[in-house]
């Protein structure tokens, strides 16, 4: 019996231990609130906390949904009985009492929306027929993004108050800041997308010219091979120019690399030798589109640079539990680690550098900073670029 | 029985495994031109690999032992371990693959967009993995003990060390082809001896174990009791004893064992004459051949029908919660291949499991003394030498022992990799491969520690517990996650916690022997029939009560899970998403 009891204890201790490890990661962020400080500190804390709660919805951009979520917190900041967020034509959100005022919110905000200035509205515009309703005054403050009014925040009150007008203007400006940050996020994403487009269009003219010349040289001597190479060329360009989808499977990416290498071998012949070692288990892994092919192109360029005896390229893709481990290696001239570091941080000047920096940035954005490119290189020692790709990440699907 | 060949066979299996792991043998061609896309793992290879990791100690030794001991009701183990994949095929395989999830916690996060749900699923996955590793280590100990007489701890520690070293050295890449070969090795280890056993049985006049009499020794037999047992004697029997019986120390003395229970101490040898009825250990019900062969005849307790249904529910629905099985489905390139793999797997497992009842029957005919020592799990290991004898029998025994060890190693490493993957993904992600290695040590240490203190637990009971927990917690998550769009994160968390918690509590109460025989005992020992419905009910009920926590984008996700890839819906949906 004692053995089974200790078994039970072992199980529970094991589970509890794991639970503690998992949960402690959360507990680290939750501070105790026992020591609340002075009243002023408390007010500061509460204000900042409320503002912080309103930030995430606004950072996602302005829509009915995000406005509704933010309005609740913004009203709390202003301590107003009711608050509306409207754009030029529609009411985006209404929060608070006295719903009969909601429909007039757009009309009230019109002046502020047109002029971009805070407008204070009296009982003649605000008051309603309901005698029990206390809402008499309203402050409409514009929310502008990059100088253009996007929405108007209207705060209602029972009395005329200069304090409310100032506070509403400040809250509207704070909201503007958050929306500008949202716009910044969007431009960043657009920039990356544009860079992927650029990569897609970046098949170098030299490569096209050299490939076609190499194919032409086979047309008479080996027509079958010439035909195959042309088909490879067609497939390769179709893949590189494809328009949709941010992700693809490792299998497709490697397939494109295979086509690319076949074309390069047609040109370089025996001088370019390649070792591919691919674990079939990782072929279905979703990877960012064109995250490997530019690395191989770089490797061929570096490897063949100033060399008559040719070069050897090794491409590895291995299974590493919940990740795929990929590396591309050449035995070429290598590069100065410092130059490489500059390249990765986006300050590089060479064409290959843009690709490295772009891939690094995209990997970090999709998977987090621990998943950036790792480059091992030195002058004269070849270059090895390594990356890790998690087998699953929410929102990452090959298309 | 000559154990030399068996030791050599086990040594070969272990050495080969270590070498393959340590040298990182890729078994992948190293050439400069081949079409990568054509090299995705084919359903046949993948099915073999899944079989290689799935066929565990419980399958290899436990099922035959259970049928041998308890009779026809236990056939449902053999059926359920296979048919679980039928449920997987129809409800889960393709949508799960299309979800892109590598583990079930991944699926939970993808489907419900909730980190807490992911954490609960992770805890359950790790717990189920540990519960499933425990019997692997125990089985390894039993095998080594049966073929060499070494302490059961040696085998358990040996398997644990080999697996962890292998995983640390880089063998964690659960190479499909290696696992597939393991499957065929196991199938050969079970099928080749079976052919010879069938021939020997025919030669013996094809006796059947049915009939109105209990099992008896066919010839004069000396039984050595290696750990103390209490046996029940139903009709008086004359034996010769060296050792301690009922507290009396005897040496080569004739004794008459009267009707009732007797305690036989460790190290005692008891010699029976031919035709004597086998006294059975009290934990195994004494049955006549007819009772043994008849379903629902009460051999598995007073509530056989309930037990059978509970068994069906646990094994049919528990398979989809086994972490090492699920991760292998990721290797399929698409949903169609996942289905195809499952169909092939059903065939392969069918061929394997159909033989185990035969081993159980042969065990009853030719190794009845195991009913006295209670070690019915060992019957497969003993039968070839017993029935065929000579060097041929020794070689066949060696083949079985090697196959059994292959089963422990492949299942244990598959589980270790899967559990370590979940642990490192949740807690040690920033450390990369190092974190994974640390997690691998943790993944094996806990079950090994459990083995050291729980040598008396039945292999089959612990496996049953793992299946019951999986069926009550992760199965509702996966099935409802795939087929019910109103599932919410709160509902999933509640259902998993309640269903899994109940099953785990019931199982642990049984294992510590808290329940008296009767209805309660059966309800606790076979909990799936009530914990699975409760798990589903809680998940559905709480989901309906919390419609607000439905994750966003369910419709699009559902379309992706259920639409075949060839329809091209995925890319269309994503293009629309991108255009927004």
Contact at CB, B40 and A283, closer than 8 angstroms: yes
CA distance B36 to chain A (A): 6
Residue of B nearest to A19 (CA): B123
Nearest-angstrom CA–CA distance, B129 and B118: 16
How far apart, in whole angstroms, are the C-alpha atoms of residue B448 and residue B161? Answer: 10
Cα–Cα distance measured from residue B533 to residue B541, given in angstroms and rounded to the nearest whole number: 12
Contact between A7 and B429 using a beta-carbon 8 Å cutoff: no
Q: pLDDT tens digits, residue range B132-176?
A: 998 888 888 877 887 777 787 888 888 888 888 877 776 545 567
Determine, yes or no, domain membership for B390.
yes
By the 8 A CB rule, do A92 and A150 touch?
A: no
Total-model pTM? 0.77
Question: Containing H/E element for B182?
Answer: helix B176-203
Segment B441-449 shows an average pLDDT of 89
Q: Which of B31, B424, B456 sits opposite A4 (nearest CB)?
A: B456
* Residue B122 with chain A: CB contacts under 8 Å: 22
Which of A325, A280, A318 has the alpha carbon at shortest distance from B328?
A280
How confident is residue B375, by pLDDT bands cut at 50, 70 and 90? confident
CB-side neighbour CA atoms (13 Å) of B198? 9
Question: Does the pLDDT at position B197 exceed 50?
Answer: yes
A368: left (phi over 0), alpha (psi -120 to 50) or beta: left
CATH number where B110 lies:
1.20.1730.10
| pLDDT reported for residue B84 | 92
Residue A2 has pLDDT above 60, yes or no: no
- Among the candidates B456, B484, B499, a domain finishes at B456
Q: At A308, phi and psi to the nearest 5?
A: -95, -25
Q: How far is B69 from B156, CA to CA, in rounded Å?
A: 24
Of B334, B450, B560, the CB nearest to A10: B450
Q: Name the strand (E) or helix (H) holding A54.
A: helix A39-59
Rounded to a whole number of angstroms, the distance from the CA of A226 to the nearest CA of chain B is: 16
Domain boundary at B277, B306, B322, which? B277
Q: Evaluate whether residue B93 is within a structural domain.
A: yes
Give the whole-angstrom CA distance, residue A285 versus residue A390: 8
Looking at residue B59, what is its pLDDT?
Answer: 77
Instruction: Tell me the mean pLDDT in the region A161-189.
Output: 85
N residues, chain A: 399
Domain range enclosing B322:
4-21+40-205+291-456
In a domain, B182, yes or no: yes
| Chain A: closest CA distance from residue B320 (Å) | 18
| 8 Å CB contact of B37 and A251 | yes
Q: Give how far Cα A16 sits from Cα of A19, B478, B562, Å.
A: 5, 25, 37
Taking 50 as the threshold, does the pLDDT of residue B394 lie above it? yes
Under an 8 A CB cutoff, do B450 and A14 touch? yes
**Listed residue (B480, B475, B488) closest to B543, CA to CA:** B488
Domain boundaries, chain A: 47-193, 214-390
The answer to whether residue B160 is domain-embedded is: yes
> Which of A22, A245, A283 faces B119 most closely, judged by CB atoms?
A22
- Whether B335 has a pLDDT exceeding 60, the answer reads yes
Rounded to whole angstroms, the Cα distance separating B10 from B405 reads 6
By C-alpha distance, which of A189, A150, A196 is closest to A173? A150
Max avg pLDDT among A44-58, A97-111, B45-59, B469-483:
B469-483
Reported as a pLDDT band with limits 50, 70 and 90, residue B28 is very low
| pLDDT in the model for residue B16 | 81
pLDDT at B544: 94
Do residue A22 and residue B106 have CB atoms under 8 angstroms apart?
A: no
pLDDT at residue A381, as a whole number: 83
Question: Confidence band (pLDDT; 50, 70, 90) for B572?
Answer: very low
Is B100 close to A392, i.e. CB distance below 8 A?
yes
Supply the pLDDT for residue B31: 46
Residue at a domain's end among B456, B489, B505: B456
Average pLDDT value for residue range B109-121: 92
Per-residue model confidence as pLDDT tens digits over B230-285: 888 888 888 888 888 888 888 888 888 888 888 888 888 889 888 888 888 887 88
Cβ <8 Å between B571 and A245: yes
pLDDT of residue A19: 55
| Same-domain pairing of B324 and B257 | no
Whether B418 has a pLDDT exceeding 90, the answer reads: no
- Test A283 with B174 for CB contact under 8 angstroms: no
State the pLDDT confidence band at A287, using cuts at 50, 70 and 90.
Answer: very high
| CA distance to partner chain B, nearest, from residue A282 (Å) | 7
Answer yes or no: do A321 and B106 touch at CB < 8 A.
no
Q: What is the ipTM of this complex?
A: 0.81
pLDDT of residue B226: 79
Residue B547 falls inside a structural domain: no
Cβ–Cβ below 8 Å for A254 and B433: no
Chain A residues inside the 8 Å CB shell of B506: none
How many Å lie between the alpha carbon of B402 and the closest alpha carbon of chain A? 27
**Residues of chain A found within 8 Å of residue B106, distances taken between Cβ atoms:** 391-392
Q: The tokens of B58 are what?
A: 């419980």
> Contact B36/A278, CB-based, under 8 Å?
yes
CB-nearest to B40 from A22, A280, A392 is A280
Of A39-43, A101-105, B126-130, B399-403, which range is least confident?
A: A101-105
Is the separation of the CB atoms in A334 and A381 below 8 Å?
Answer: yes
Report whether pLDDT(B340) > 90: yes
Please count the CA atoms within 13 angstroms of the CA of B362 that sit on its side-chain side.
29
Q: What is the β-pairing status of strands A383-390 and B221-225?
A: unpaired
Task: Report angle CA B163, B118, B532 to the nearest 5 degrees.
Answer: 85
Instruction: Please tell me which of the candidates B101, B446, B454 has its beta carbon nearest to residue A4.
Output: B454
pLDDT at B500: 94
Interface A:B, Cβ pairs < 8 A: 175
Q: How far is B104 from chain A (nearest CA, A)?
A: 11
As a whole number, mean pLDDT of residues A180-190 equals 81
Task: Tell me, yes or no, whether B333 and B437 share the same domain.
Answer: yes
Mean pLDDT of A345-373: 75
Residue of B nearest to A248 (CA): B571
Q: Give the pLDDT confidence score for residue B508 in this predicted structure.
A: 83
Q: Do B26 and A5 touch (CB under 8 A)?
A: no
pLDDT of residue B118: 93
**Partners of residue B39 in chain A, C-beta under 8 Å:** 278, 280, 283
Question: A47-193, what's its fold?
Answer: Beta-Lactamase (3.30.450)
Average confidence (pLDDT) over A104-119:
84
Q: Which residues of B touch A399 (CB under 8 A)?
A: 570-571, 574
The CATH architecture of the domain made up of A214-390 is 2-Layer Sandwich (3.30)
**Torsion, CA A34, CA A37, CA A43, CA A49, rounded to 10:** -40
Overall average pLDDT of the B91-96 stretch: 93
pLDDT value of residue B1 = 47
Dist CA B540 CA B544 (whole Å): 6
A327 pairs with which residues across the strands? A316, A386
Mean per-residue pLDDT for B120-133?
93
At residue A13 the predicted structure's pLDDT band, cuts being 50, 70 and 90, is low
Domain-located, residue B324: yes
What is the structure's pLDDT at A24?
A: 47
The pLDDT of residue B30: 45
Rounded CA-CA distance B18/B163 in Å is 8
Question: Among the listed ranges A1-10, A36-45, B153-162, B337-346, which one has the minimum average pLDDT value?
Answer: A1-10
Task: Assess whether B264 and B236 both reside in one domain.
Answer: yes
Which residue among A3, A244, A278 sits closest to B456, beta carbon to beta carbon? Answer: A3
- State the smallest CA–CA distance between residue B176 and chain A in angstroms: 7
Same domain, yes or no: B243 and B319: no
Q: Are B357 and B192 in contact (CB under 8 A)?
A: no
Question: Do residue B513 and residue A396 have CB atoms under 8 angstroms apart?
Answer: no
Could you tell me the strand order of the sheet in which A148-157 lies?
A: A91-96, A82-86, A148-157, A137-145, A119-121
Of B100, B429, B512, the CB nearest to A8: B512
Which residues from chain B sit within 8 angstroms of residue A275, using beta carbons?
Answer: 30, 32
Residue in A28, A69, A281 to test binding to B, most B beta-carbons within 10 Å: A281
Cβ contact B39–A275 (<8 Å):
no
Please say if the pLDDT value at position B520 is more than 60: yes
**Which residues have C-beta within 8 Å of that of residue A159, sequence separation ≥ 6?**
A136, A137
The whole-number pLDDT of residue A307 equals: 72
Residue B306 and residue B335 in one domain: yes
Chain A partners within 8 Å of B430 (Cβ): 370
Question: Mean pLDDT over residues B297-309, rounded?
Answer: 80
Task: Count up the domains in chain B and report the number.
Answer: 2
Residues of B in Cβ contact (< 8 Å) with A322: 102-103, 421-422, 424-425, 436
State the smallest CA–CA distance between residue B415 and chain A in angstroms: 11
């Amino acid at each position: 019996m004692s053995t089974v009891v200790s078994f039970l204890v072992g199980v529970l201790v094991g589970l509890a231990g794991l639970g503690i490890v998992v949960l402690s990661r959360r507990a680290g962020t939750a501070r105790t609130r026992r020591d609340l400080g002075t009243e002023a500190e408390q007010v500061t804390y509460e204000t900042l906390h409320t503002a912080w709660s309103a930030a995430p919805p606004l950072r996602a951009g302005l829509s009915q949904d995000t406005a509704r979520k933010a309005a609740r917190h913004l009203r709390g900041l202003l301590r107003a009985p009711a608050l509306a967020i409207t754009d030029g034509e529609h009411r985006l959100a209404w929060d608070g009492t006295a719903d009969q005022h909601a429909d007039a919110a757009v009309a009230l905000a019109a002046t502020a929306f047109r002029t971009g200035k805070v407008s204070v509205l009296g009982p003649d515009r605000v008051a309603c027929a309901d005698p029990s309703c206390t809402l008499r005054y309203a402050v409409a403050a514009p929310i502008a993004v990059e100088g253009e009014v996007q929405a108007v925040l209207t705060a209602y009150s029972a009395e005329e108050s200069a304090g409310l007008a100032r506070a509403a203007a400040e809250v509207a400006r704070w909201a503007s800041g958050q929306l500008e940050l949202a716009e910044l996020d969007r431009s960043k994403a657009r920039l990356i997308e544009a860079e992927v487009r650029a990569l897609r269009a970046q098949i170098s003219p030299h490569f096209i010219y050299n490939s076609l010349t190499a194919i032409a040289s086979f047309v008479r001597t080996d027509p079958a091979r010439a035909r195959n190479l042309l088909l490879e060329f067609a497939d390769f360009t179709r893949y590189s120019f494809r328009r949709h989808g941010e992700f693809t499977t490792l299998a497709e990416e490697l397939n494109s690399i295979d086509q690319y290498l076949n074309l390069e071998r047609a040109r370089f012949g025996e001088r370019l030798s390649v070792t591919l070692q691919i674990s079939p288990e990782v072929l279905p892994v979703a990877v960012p589109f064109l995250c490997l092919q530019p690395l191989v192109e770089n490797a061929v360029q570096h490897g063949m640079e100033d060399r008559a005896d040719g070069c050897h390229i090794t491409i590895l893709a291995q299974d590493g539990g919940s990740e795929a481990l990929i590396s591309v290696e050449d035995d070429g001239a290598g590069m100065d680690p410092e130059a490489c570091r500059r390249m990765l941080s986006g300050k590089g000047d060479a064409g290959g550098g843009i690709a490295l920096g772009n891939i690094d940035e995209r990997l970090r954005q999709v998977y987090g900073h621990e998943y950036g490119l790792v480059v091992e290189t030195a002058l004269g020692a070849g270059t090895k670029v390594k990356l890790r790709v998690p087998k699953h990440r929410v929102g990452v699907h090959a298309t | 029985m000559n154990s030399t060949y068996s030791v050599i066979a086990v040594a070969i299996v272990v050495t080969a495994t270590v070498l393959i792991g340590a040298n990182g043998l890729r078994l992948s061609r190293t050439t400069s031109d081949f079409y990568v896309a054509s090299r995705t793992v084919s359903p046949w290879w993948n099915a073999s690999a899944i079989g290689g990791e799935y066929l565990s100690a419980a399958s290899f030794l436990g099922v035959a032992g259970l049928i041998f001991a308890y009779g026809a009701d236990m056939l449902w183990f053999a059926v359920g371990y296979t048919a679980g994949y039928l449920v997987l095929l129809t409800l889960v395989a393709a949508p799960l693959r299309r979800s892109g999830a590598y583990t079930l916690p991944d699926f939970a996060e993808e489907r419900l967009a909730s980190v807490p749900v992911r954490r609960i699923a992770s805890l359950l996955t790790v717990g189920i993995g540990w519960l499933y590793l425990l019997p692997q280590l125990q089985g390894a100990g039993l095998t080594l003990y049966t073929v060499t007489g070494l302490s059961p701890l040696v085998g358990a520690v040996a398997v644990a060390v080999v697996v962890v070293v292998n995983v640390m050295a880089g063998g964690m890449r659960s190479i499909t082809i290696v696992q597939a070969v393991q499957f065929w090795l196991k199938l050969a280890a079970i099928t080749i001896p079976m052919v010879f056993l069938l021939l020997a049985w025919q030669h013996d006049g094809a006796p059947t174990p049915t009939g109105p009499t209990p099992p008896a020794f066919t010839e004069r037999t000396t039984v050595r009791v290696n750990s103390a047992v209490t046996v029940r004697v139903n009709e008086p029997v004359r034996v010769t004893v060296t050792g301690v019986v009922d507290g009396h120390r005897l040496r080569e003395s004739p004794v008459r064992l009267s009707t009732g229970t007797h305690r036989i101490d460790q190290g005692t040898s008891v010699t029976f004459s031919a035709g004597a009825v086998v006294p059975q250990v009290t934990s195994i019900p004494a049955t006549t051949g007819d009772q043994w062969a008849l379903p629902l005849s009460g051999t598995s307790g007073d509530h056989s029908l309930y037990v059978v249904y509970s068994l069906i529910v646990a094994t049919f629905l528990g398979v989809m919660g086994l972490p090492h099985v699920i991760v292998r489905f990721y290797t399929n390139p698409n949903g169609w291949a996942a289905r195809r793999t499952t169909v092939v797997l059903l065939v392969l497992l069918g061929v394997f499991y159909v033989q185990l009842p035969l081993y159980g029957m042969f065990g009853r005919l030719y190794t009845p003394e195991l009913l006295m020592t209670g070690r019915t799990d060992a019957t497969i290991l003993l039968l070839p030498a017993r029935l065929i004898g000579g060097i041929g029998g020794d070689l066949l025994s060696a083949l079985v022992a090697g196959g059994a060890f292959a089963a422990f190693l492949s299942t244990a490493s598959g589980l270790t990799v899967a559990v370590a993957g979940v642990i490192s993904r949740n807690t040690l992600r920033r450390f990369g491969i190092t974190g994974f290695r640390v997690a691998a040590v943790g993944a094996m240490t806990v079950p090994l520690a459990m083995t050291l203190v729980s040598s008396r637990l039945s292999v089959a009971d612990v496996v049953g517990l793992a299946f019951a927990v999986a069926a009550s917690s992760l199965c509702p998550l996966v099935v409802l996650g795939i087929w019910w769009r109103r599932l919410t994160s709160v509902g999933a968390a509640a259902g998993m916690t309640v269903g899994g918690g109940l099953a785990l509590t019931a199982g642990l109460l049984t294992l510590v022997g808290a329940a008296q025989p009767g209805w309660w005992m059966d309800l606790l020992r076979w909990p799936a029939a009530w914990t699975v419905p409760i798990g589903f009910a809680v998940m559905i009920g709480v989901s309906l009560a919390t419609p607000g926590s439905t994750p966003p984008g369910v419709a699009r996700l559902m379309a992706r899970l259920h639409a075949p890839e060839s329809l091209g819906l995925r890319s269309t949906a994503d293009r629309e998403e991108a255009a927004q």
